[in-house]
Amino acid sequence: MTRIATLTGLAAATVLATSAFAQMANPMVGGAAMFADKTIVENAVNSADHTTLVAAVQQAGLVDTLNSEGPFTVFAPTNAAFDKISDDSLSALMMDQNKAQLAQILTCHVVATNALSDAIAGMIADDGGVHAVPTVGGCTLQAKMVGQNIILTDENGRDAKVTIADVRQSNGVIHVIDRVLLPAQ
């Protein structure tokens, strides 16, 4: 009986430790804990650094999509990334008549797979230093490594750096980036 109780206690402790480690392993984003058992949208709404992105996702009608099963890899621009867009341009994008254009821009940040940073780095290495990343929005990003950083280049030659990688979600993963990526213009 003592041996069974010890094994049961050990198993319970292992489950608790594994669960706690899994939660601790997910980085904080925008001052908020990110929970691996929540969806991309459920986590993003808690990030103080992603209020513009969340508003844009809502305006574009993409909430249900990003709450669905996935899997998705989302390259999530911060508020500071959106601040690099002029106020007039951003305001225009958020207008109802520009919903389709906003949706395309946002889906150019989404890949229909669950790609953690080590997998992306491996694909970059396997492809000789640059890996083409086709997005849900029809854009093709180019991923490369600069030192230990993943850099994404959009179809206009603009670079975005992954600043926080591997934020696990129940329906994929988020990689925080420092620039809004745009389709070819």
Strand partners, 140: 134
Contacts of 50 by beta carbon, 8 Å cutoff, 6+ apart: 29, 30, 44, 76, 78, 79
Taking CA atoms, 111 is separated from 4, 133, 153, in Å, by: 47, 8, 14
Average pLDDT, the chain: 88
Radius of gyration, alpha carbons of the chain? 19
- Contact yes or no for 143/133 (Cβ under 8 A): yes
* Counted domains in the chain: 1
Inform me whether the pLDDT recorded for 2 exceeds 70.
no
- Tell me whether residue 184 is in a domain: no
- Tell me whether residue 148 is in a domain: yes
- 29-58 pLDDT, tens digit each: 988 889 999 999 999 999 999 999 999 999
CATH of the domain at 97: 2.30.180.10
Instruction: Please give the residue range of the domain that contains residue 80.
Output: 2-177
- Tell me whether residue 185 is in a domain: no
- 111-164 pLDDT, tens digit each: 999 999 999 999 999 999 999 999 999 999 999 999 999 999 999 999 999 999
- Tell me whether residue 183 is in a domain: no
